[in-house]
Amino acid sequence: MKNLIILAGLFLALTGNALAETRYVSDKLEITMRSGKGNSYSITRMLGSGTQVEVLEIDKSKGYSRVRTKSGKEGWVLSRYLMRSQAARDRLAAAEKKLAELELEKRKLETTMTALSDEKNTLNSKLSSLDGESRKVSQELTEIRRTASSALAIDSENKELKGRVVSLERELQTVQQENEGLKDRTARDWFMVGAAVVLLGIIVGLIIPRIRLRKKSSWDTF
C-alpha cells in the first residue's frame, strides 16, 4: 500500500512537470458594445482590438462612452477599453509592414546600385576605348599635318626648281644664241682674214715684179 502511494506521487509529479509549459496570454481582445450604459443592456456588437470608433458621448459617472463605428453602428462601451492611440499589435503590424516595404525598397535600391555600377564600369571601359581612339586619331592627325607640311614644302621646292630650270633654260638659250653669234662673227673674221691674206698676196704678187724690174733697169743703166 505504501509503495502504491509512492508510485502515485511520482506519477503525479511527472505528470505535473510534463504540463509545465510556457504560454502567453493572447492579445486578441473583444469588447461588447451594448444598447445602454450597463451590463443589463443587450449586446449589439462585439468590437475587436484595434477597431476604430468615433466617441459621441462620455458618461464618466458610469464609465461608459457612446461610440459609432465606421459602418455607422452606435452603442455604449466601457470607457476604460478605449485608447487614444492604436493598439500595440496594430502598431507592430504597421511597423512590420513598413519594415517589409523598406526591406523591399532596399533590395530594389541594391539592384539599382548594382545595375548602375555595372553601367558605370561599362561606361568607363567605353571611355578608355574612346580615349585610346582619340589618341590614335590625334597621332594620325599629327602625321597627316606633318606629311601635308612636307608635301607643301616639296611642292614649294618643286616650284622653285621649276623656276630655276626655266631660268637656266633661258640662260642656255641666250648662251646658245651668243654662241651662234660668236660662230658667225668668227666665220666672218676668218673670212675677212682670208680675204685680206689673198688681197695681200695679190698686192705682193703685183709689187714684187715691179721691184725686180726697177732693180734690173737700174743695173742696166750702170
Domain extents for the chain?
A: 30-84
- For residue 89, the Cα-to-chain-centroid distance in whole angstroms is 52
Q: Running DSSP on this structure, what letter comes out for residue 31?
A: E
User: Are 35 and 41 spatial neighbours (Cβ–Cβ below 8 Å)?
Assistant: yes
Distance of CA 94 to the CA centre of its chain: 44
Residues forming a β-bridge with 33? 45
Angstrom distance (rounded) from CA 171 to CA 163: 12
Write down the mean pLDDT value for the chain: 78
> Who has greater pLDDT, 92 or 62?
62
Q: How far is CA 21 from CA 11, 16, 26, in A?
A: 17, 10, 15
How confident is the model at residue 30, as a pLDDT? 87
Q: Give the sign of the dihedral formed by CA 202, CA 204, CA 209, CA 211.
A: positive
pLDDT for the residue 212? 64
Question: Per-residue pLDDT for 178 more than 50?
Answer: yes
Q: Does residue 220 have a pLDDT over 80?
A: no
Residue 49 makes CB contacts below 8 A (sequence gap 6+) with 27, 28, 29, 30, 87, 89, 90
Give the pLDDT band of residue 27 (cuts 50, 70, 90): low
Is there a contact between 53 and 82 (Cβ–Cβ < 8 Å)? yes
Residues of the chain with pLDDT > 70, as a percent, come to 79
Q: What is the CA radius of gyration of the chain?
A: 71
Question: Grid coordinates standing for 122?
Answer: 561599362
CATH fold of 30-84: SH3 type barrels. (2.30.30)
pLDDT of 21 strictly over 70: no
**Facing residues of 31 across strands?**
47
> How many whole angstroms separate alpha carbon 83 and alpha carbon 80?
8
Residue type, 106: K
What tens digit of pLDDT does each residue of 187-206 get? 777 777 777 777 777 777 77
Is the model more confident about 61 or about 126? 61
* Cβ pair 75, 65 in contact under 8 A: no
Average pLDDT over residues 41-52: 90
- pLDDT tens digits along 103-160: 888 888 988 888 898 888 888 888 888 888 888 888 888 888 887 777 777 777 778 8
Q: What is the pLDDT of residues 63-88, one digit of tens each?
A: 999 999 999 999 999 999 898 877 66
